[in-house]
C-alpha cells in the first residue's frame, strides 16, 4: 500500500450505461501543440476533450469546464478502437480513424472560428470509409512497407484475417497461422513487421513482405477468403496471457516491445530477444510506456487502485488512485506537461499527477493504560451473552426439521422386468431388475441436491447418484437395481441419502430406506431335512402361513408354499437351501440350513414381514432365545484374514519383481550405451523370466481380488445374520448400540488398516468396559489404539467372549426379572444365610449357561469353568 495519493487536476464523468475498454481512449495532439483526449464508448458516442488549465496569479486553476468538451458525436455502431495518423492522400495532416464492427472510417476535424472563445466550433468531416466483410477486433496504424509521410491501416478480424488499407484503397488480406482468439496488435517500423499475441501464449512476429506476398496470391482482390495462412518469422514464449503491447523507440534508434502479462512485465527487442523481465506481485490491469534518456519507463496500474512507476526493472514511485482505471495514457496538456490520463470502464475520465501529498490516515499511538479487571469482566460477560445468543440462533436454524425444506418418498415397482444392463452373472434363474422411483418435493429453493442410492453387493444400482442445482420444482428420479454377481446378498435394504444445501446456506441430509422385492434374488425350492444350522424364532401371536407371508413369491409358484415346510435358494443357485418350518402346535418359526450365509437373508425377511403383518398390534413381539451361531461367523473371519494375508503377500511379491525388472533394464541400457558393448551374459533371459513371473503374479493377484470380494460378501452376510439375531434377544438399551457398532455389516479393508484391526480394538474395549467379567478387568486401560492383528486365534477368542458374555448377561437379567416378579416383596436374609430363591436363581442360571455351552460345540471354551456343565 502506497503512502501517497495522486493529485486530481481535471475529471469528467460520462453518461450512464456506457462501457469502455483498453482501446477506447487515445491521447494525441492531432494538428495542435497540446494533446487532445479522445474517447469512444461501446454505445457509439465519440467525445473529444481539450482540457485547458489556466494559471491565475501563479496558481494552476484545476477542474472541468464545459468548454473543455469540444466535440461530441453519436454513431449507430459501437466504437471498438481509435487511432490517429496521416491517412488521407495528398495531405500531411493527422486524421482520426474510428473502427466499428463492420467498417473503418476516417474523419478530419476542422475548426470554425467564432467572435468569442465560446463561439469556436469543432466539426468532424468524413473523408472515406472502408467496409469490412468480417467482424473486426482491433487495428494498428503505421508506415507499412517503408513508406514516408503516409500511414496505412491494418485491421485484425475475429477469425484471424489481417486486412491492409493503403489510405483510400484496399491493398490485400491474409490469414495468420495458429489462431484462436485475437490479441493486441502493434507495428514495429524498424523491421517493418507486425507483432501480436497468439492464443497459444506466444508473441508472434509477421513481416509485412510475407503478408504482402501471401495476400496477393488470391485470385480476387478484396475477397474475404483472400490469402493463405502466414507462418510467423519469430516467436517468443510467454506461458501467460497478454494484457497489452507497446512499442518504443529508444534514443539509440533501437526499438523495443513492451509486453504486460498477467504476472510479469517483459521487454524484448525487435528480433524477439529478451532484454529484461519484471515479476509483478499483483494483478495488473493496464500500462503505458515512455523513454527517459536511455531508460525505459513503465507506468503500471494494479487491481488495488495503485499506479506504479518502473525504471527498467526498478520501482521508482507508487501512488494510490481514486478509482480503478481500465486505460492509462501520458499527456502534455496546456500548462501541465506529463500528466496521467486514466479512464474507467464506466466512463470516468481523470487527469492527475503523482503528487507528494501523503495520506491523512495516521496510526494512533499505543495506549498503556492499566487494566480495569472489573470493566474487563463486565465486557467479557456481555460478549459471552452475545456469542450465546448467536449460537442459539444458529442452533435454532440448524435444528429445524428436515421436512421443513424437503420431502422424499420412495417406491419400488413390485413388477420385475428383464435386466438390460451388463452384469457378471454367468447363469441366472431370472436375470431381472426392479425399478426404484424417488419423488422429491422441495418446499422452497435448494441451492444443491445430491441423491445417492446405497445397496449391498452383489446388488448394483444404475445410476447410483443424481445431482441438481437451483432446485425449485418437484422431480422424479428412477433407477434400476439388479443382481450383478453370483453370490449371496447380505441385505435387501436400499438406503437413499439426500444431501442438500438450503437457500439459507444450511447443509442438511435426509436418509430413508426401502426393502427390495425378495423374488429379485430368491426363488422357491424343495425343503431339506437334517441341516447343521437351526434358528428358532418365537412369537407371542399365532404364526402366519408361508403362503401369506411370502405372497409375492406365490405369483409364479402357487403350490410351493402350501405346506408347513418351504424351501428357498438364491436365483443364481450359488448358495445352500434354506428351509422354513412352521410349527403346528407352537408360535414358532424354524429356519434350518447348512450355511449361515444363506440363512441371513431369510432371517431378515421373516422378521421384516412379520412386523409389517402385525404393524397394527402394539403388543406383538418376536425374539430369539437360542444360542448364537458362532462357529460359522468365526470361520468367515478366519477365511477373510487368510485371504487378506495372501493378497498382501502377492502385492509385496509384485513390487519386488517390478523393482527387479527395472534394475535389469537399467543394466541392459548401461551395457548398450558403452562404446564397446559387452556380452549380455544371459541378462536377456533373466529379463524374459522376470516378465513372465510378473504376468503370472498379476493374474494370481486378479484372481485373489475376485476371491477376496466374494469372501468379503460372505463375511457381511454372517455379520448381518448374527446382528439380526442379537437384536431379537432383548438386550439392554445401552449395550445394544455398542454391539451394533462393533459387528456392523459393512467390511472395509484400506491400506494400513484391515477390518480385523478395527474389530479387535472394539472387542477389547467392550471386554474391558461394559462386558468386563470383574471389577479388576474394568481397572485395566481401555483399548483406544489400532494394532495390526497377527494372530487370528486371539481375535476368534475375543469374538467368542463378547458373544458369550452378551448371552450370559441377557440370561442373568431375565432370571433377575423373574425372581422380582415371583417374590412380590423385598426380603433381606440374615448374614450368612442363603435364601432359597438365590439358590434357585443360581441353578437356573447354570442351566441356561449349560444350554448355551452345549450348543456351541465348535467354539473355543470360555474361561468360566463353573458354568460349562451341570
| Model pLDDT for residues 769-792, shown as the tens digit of each residue | 877 776 666 666 565 666 777 778
Mean pLDDT for 426-433 is: 65
The share of the chain scoring above pLDDT 90, in percent, equals 29
- Give the model's pLDDT for residue 538: 84
In a domain, residue 796? The reply is yes
In a domain, residue 354? The reply is no
- Give the model's pLDDT for residue 868: 31
Final residue of a domain: which of 483, 518, 553? 518
The answer, yes or no, to whether residue 222 has pLDDT greater than 70, is no
CATH number for the domain that contains residue 431: 2.60.40.740
The answer, yes or no, to whether residue 839 has pLDDT greater than 80, is no
The answer, yes or no, to whether residue 309 has pLDDT greater than 90, is yes
- Give the model's pLDDT for residue 122: 86
Q: Label residues 690-726 b or e (16+ Cβ within 10 Å = b).
A: beeebeebeeebeebeeebebbbbbbbbbbbbbbbbb
Grid coordinates belonging to 842: 443360581
In Å, how far from its chain's centre is CA 458?
A: 29
**Alpha carbons 416 and 434: distance in angstroms, whole number:** 5
Final residue of a domain: which of 564, 598, 623? 623
- At residue 634 the predicted structure's pLDDT band, cuts being 50, 70 and 90, is confident
- Give the model's pLDDT for residue 248: 93
Range with the lowest mean pLDDT among 89-93, 581-585, 792-796? Answer: 581-585
CATH number for the domain that contains residue 616: 3.30.310.200
The answer, yes or no, to whether residue 293 has pLDDT greater than 90, is no
- Give the model's pLDDT for residue 389: 77
Q: What angle do CA 715, 717, 718 make, to 5 degrees?
A: 65
- At residue 829 the predicted structure's pLDDT band, cuts being 50, 70 and 90, is very low
- At residue 698 the predicted structure's pLDDT band, cuts being 50, 70 and 90, is very high
Both 440 and 499 in one domain: the answer is yes
Mean pLDDT (the chain, rounded): 81
- At residue 324 the predicted structure's pLDDT band, cuts being 50, 70 and 90, is very high
In a domain, residue 196? The reply is no
Which phi-psi region, left, alpha or beta, contains residue 752 (left: φ > 0; alpha: ψ -120 to 50)?
Answer: left
Mean pLDDT for 287-308 is: 92
In a domain, residue 730? The reply is yes
Mean pLDDT for 194-203 is: 89
- Listed ranges 28-32, 59-63, 168-172, 679-683; the one with the highest mean pLDDT: 168-172
The answer, yes or no, to whether residue 514 has pLDDT greater than 80, is yes
In a domain, residue 384? The reply is no
Both 791 and 662 in one domain: the answer is yes
In a domain, residue 342? The reply is no
Q: What angle do CA 853, 857, 862 make, to 5 degrees?
A: 50
- Give 389 or 847, the one with higher predicted confidence: 389
The boundaries of the domain holding residue 553 are: 521-623
Both 618 and 761 in one domain: the answer is no
Q: How far is CA 687 from CA 282, 650, 654, in A?
A: 55, 20, 15
- Give the model's pLDDT for residue 747: 82
Both 546 and 634 in one domain: the answer is no
Both 681 and 730 in one domain: the answer is yes
The answer, yes or no, to whether residue 636 has pLDDT greater than 80, is yes
- Give the model's pLDDT for residue 793: 85
- Give 558 or 434, the one with higher predicted confidence: 434
- Give the model's pLDDT for residue 864: 37
Final residue of a domain: which of 569, 597, 623? 623
Q: pLDDT for 357-390, tens place per residue?
A: 554 455 666 666 677 888 888 999 999 988 887 7
- Give the model's pLDDT for residue 357: 54
- Give the model's pLDDT for residue 858: 38
Domain count, the chain: 3
- At residue 549 the predicted structure's pLDDT band, cuts being 50, 70 and 90, is confident
Q: Is the peptide bond before 708 cis (omega within 30 degrees of 0)?
A: no
- Listed ranges 243-252, 332-341, 424-433; the one with the highest mean pLDDT: 243-252
In a domain, residue 62? The reply is no
Mean pLDDT for 103-111 is: 92
- At residue 861 the predicted structure's pLDDT band, cuts being 50, 70 and 90, is very low
Mean pLDDT for 420-427 is: 71
In a domain, residue 590? The reply is yes
Both 468 and 534 in one domain: the answer is no
Both 566 and 431 in one domain: the answer is no
Both 707 and 749 in one domain: the answer is yes
- Give 545 or 817, the one with higher predicted confidence: 545
The answer, yes or no, to whether residue 545 has pLDDT greater than 90, is no
**Alpha carbons 718 and 368: distance in angstroms, whole number:** 72
Cα within 13 Å of Cα(477), Cβ side? 23
Contact 440, 410 (CB under 8 A): no
- Give the model's pLDDT for residue 843: 41
- Give the model's pLDDT for residue 95: 94
Both 406 and 542 in one domain: the answer is no
Both 611 and 727 in one domain: the answer is no
Calculate the dihedral angle through the C-alpha atoms of 539, 541, 545, 551, rounding to the nearest 10 degrees: -90
Range with the lowest mean pLDDT among 241-255, 633-647, 648-662, 726-740? Answer: 726-740
Q: Label residues 627-658 b or e (16+ Cβ within 10 Å = b).
A: bbbbbbbbbbbebbbebbeebeebeeebeebe
- Give the model's pLDDT for residue 162: 92
Both 757 and 837 in one domain: the answer is yes
Both 546 and 505 in one domain: the answer is no
The answer, yes or no, to whether residue 597 has pLDDT greater than 50, is yes
Grid coordinates belonging to 577: 437351501
Amino acid at each position: 500500500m502506497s503512502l501517497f495519493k495522486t493529485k486530481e487536476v481535471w475529471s469528467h464523468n460520462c453518461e450512464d450505461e456506457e462501457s469502455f475498454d483498453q482501446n477506447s481512449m487515445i491521447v494525441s495532439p492531432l494538428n495542435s501543440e497540446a494533446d487532445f483526449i479522445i474517447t469512444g464508448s461501446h454505445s457509439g458516442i465519440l467525445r473529444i476533450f481539450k482540457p485547458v488549465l489556466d494559471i491565475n496569479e501563479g496558481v494552476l486553476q484545476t477542474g472541468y469546464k464545459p468548454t473543455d468538451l469540444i466535440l461530441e458525436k453519436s454513431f449507430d455502431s459501437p466504437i471498438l478502437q481509435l487511432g490517429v495518423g496521416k491517412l488521407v492522400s495528398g495531405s500531411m495532416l493527422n486524421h482520426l480513424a474510428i473502427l466499428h464492427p463492420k467498417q473503418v472510417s476516417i474523419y478530419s476535424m476542422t475548426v470554425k472560428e467564432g467572435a468569442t472563445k465560446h463561439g469556436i466550433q469543432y466539426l468532424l468531416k468524413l473523408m472515406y470509409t472502408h467496409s469490412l466483410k468480417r467482424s473486426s477486433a482491433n487495428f494498428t496504424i503505421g508506415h507499412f512497407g517503408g513508406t514516408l509521410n503516409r500511414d496505412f491501416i491494418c485491421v485484425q478480424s475475429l477469425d484471424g484475417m489481417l486486412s491492409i488499407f493503403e489510405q483510400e484503397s484496399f491493398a490485400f488480406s491474409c490469414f495468420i497461422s495458429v489462431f484462436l482468439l485475437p490479441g493486441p496488435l502493434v507495428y514495429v517500423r524498424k523491421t517493418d513487421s507486425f507483432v501480436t499475441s497468439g492464443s497459444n501464449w506466444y508473441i508472434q512476429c509477421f513481416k509485412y513482405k510475407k503478408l504482402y506476398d501471401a495476400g496477393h496470391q488470391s485470385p480476387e482482390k478484396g475477397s474475404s477468403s483472400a490469402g493463405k495462412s502466414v507462418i510467423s518469422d519469430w516467436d517468443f514464449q510467454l506461458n501467460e496471457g497478454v494484457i497489452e503491447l507497446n512499442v518504443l523507440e529508444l534514443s539509440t534508434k533501437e526499438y523495443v516491445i513492451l509486453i504486460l502479462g498477467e504476472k510479469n512485465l517483459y521487454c524484448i527487442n525487435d528480433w524477439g530477444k529478451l532484454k529484461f523481465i519484471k515479476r509483478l506481485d499483483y494483478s495488473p490491469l493496464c500500462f503505458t510506456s515512455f523513454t527517459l534518456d536511455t531508460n525505459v519507463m513503465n507506468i503500471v496500474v494494479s487491481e488495488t487502485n495503485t499506479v506504479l512507476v518502473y525504471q527498467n526493472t526498478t520501482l521508482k514511485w507508487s501512488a494510490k488512485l481514486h478509482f480503478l482505471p481500465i486505460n492509462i495514457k501520458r499527456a502534455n496538456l496546456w500548462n501541465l506537461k506529463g500528466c496521467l490520463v486514466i479512464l474507467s470502464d464506466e466512463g470516468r475520465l481523470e487527469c492527475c499527477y503523482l503528487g507528494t501529498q501523503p495520506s491523512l490516515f495516521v496510526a494512533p499511538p499505543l495506549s498503556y493504560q492499566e487494566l480495569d479487571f472489573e470493566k474487563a469482566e463486565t465486557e467479557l460477560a456481555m460478549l459471552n451473552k452475545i456469542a450465546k445468543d448467536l449460537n442459539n440462533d444458529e442452533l435454532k436454524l440448524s435444528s429445524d426439521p428436515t421436512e421443513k425444506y424437503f420431502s422424499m418418498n420412495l417406491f419400488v415397482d413390485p413388477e420385475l422386468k428383464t435386466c438390460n444392463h451388463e452384469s457378471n452373472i454367468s447363469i441366472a434363474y431370472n436375470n431381472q431388475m426392479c425399478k426404484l422411483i424417488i419423488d422429491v418435493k422441495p418446499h422452497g429453493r435448494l441451492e444443491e441436491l445430491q441423491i445417492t442410492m446405497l445397496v449391498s453387493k452383489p446388488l448394483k444400482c444404475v445410476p447410483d447418484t443424481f445431482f441438481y442445482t437451483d432446485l425449485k420444482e418437484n422431480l422424479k428420479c428412477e433407477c434400476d437395481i439388479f443382481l450383478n454377481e453370483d453370490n449371496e446378498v447380505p441385505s435387501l435394504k436400499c438406503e437413499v441419502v439426500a444431501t442438500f444445501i438450503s437457500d439459507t446456506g444450511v447443509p442438511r441430509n435426509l436418509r430413508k430406506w426401502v426393502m427390495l422385492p425378495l423374488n429379485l434374488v430368491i426363488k422357491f425350492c424343495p425343503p431339506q431335512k437334517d441341516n447343521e444350522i437351526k434358528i428358532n424364532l418365537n412369537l407371542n401371536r399365532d404364526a402366519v402361513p408361508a403362503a401369506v407371508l411370502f405372497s409375492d413369491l406365490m405369483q409364479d409358484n402357487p403350490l410351493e408354499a402350501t405346506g408347513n415346510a418351504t424351501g428357498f435358494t438364491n436365483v443364481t443357485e450359488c448358495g445352500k437351501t434354506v428351509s422354513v418350518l412352521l410349527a403346528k402346535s407352537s408360535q414358532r418359526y424354524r429356519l434350518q440350513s447348512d450355511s449361515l450365509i444363506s440363512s441371513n437373508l431369510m432371517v431378515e425377511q421373516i422378521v421384516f414381514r412379520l412386523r409389517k403383518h402385525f404393524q397394527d398390534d402394539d403388543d406383538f413381539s418376536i425374539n430369539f432365545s437360542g444360542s448364537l451361531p458362532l462357529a460359522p461367523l468365526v470361520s468367515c473371519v478366519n477365511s477373510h484374514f487368510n485371504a487378506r494375508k495372501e493378497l498382501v503377500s502377492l502385492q509385496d511379491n509384485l513390487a519386488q519383481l517390478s523393482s527387479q525388472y527395472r534394475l535389469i533394464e537399467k543394466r541392459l541400457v548401461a551395457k548398450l550405451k558403452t562404446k564397446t558393448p559387452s556380452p549380455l551374459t544371459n541378462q536377456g533371459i533373466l529379463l524374459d523370466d522376470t516378465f513372465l513371473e510378473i504376468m503370472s503374479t498379476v493374474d494370481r493377484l486378479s484372481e485373489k481380488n475376485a476371491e477376496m470380494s466374494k469372501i468379503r460378501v460372505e463375511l457381511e452376510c454372517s455379520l448381518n445374520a448374527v446382528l439380526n439375531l442379537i437384536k431379537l434377544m432383548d438386550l439392554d438399551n445401552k449395550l445394544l448400540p455398542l454391539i451394533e457398532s462393533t459387528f456392523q455389516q459393512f467390511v472395509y479393508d484400506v491400506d494400513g488398516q484391515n477390518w480385523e484391526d478395527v474389530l479387535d480394538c472394539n472387542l477389547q474395549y467392550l471386554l474391558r468396559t461394559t462386558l468386563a467379567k470383574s471389577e479388576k478387568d474394568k481397572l485395566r486401560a481401555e483399548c483406544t489404539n489400532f494394532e495390526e492383528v497377527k494372530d487370528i486365534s486371539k481375535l476368534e477368542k475375543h469374538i467368542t467372549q463378547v458373544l458369550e458374555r452378551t448371552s450370559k448377561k441377557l440370561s442373568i437379567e431375565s432370571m433377575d426379572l423373574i425372581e422380582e416378579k415371583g417374590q412380590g416383596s423385598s426380603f433381606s436374609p440374615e448374614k450368612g444365610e442363603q435364601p432359597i430363591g438365590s439358590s434357585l436363581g443360581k441353578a437356573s442360571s447354570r442351566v441356561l449357561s449349560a444350554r448355551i455351552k452345549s450348543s456351541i460345540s465348535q467354539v473355543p471354551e470360555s474361561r468360566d469353568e463353573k458354568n460349562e456343565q451341570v
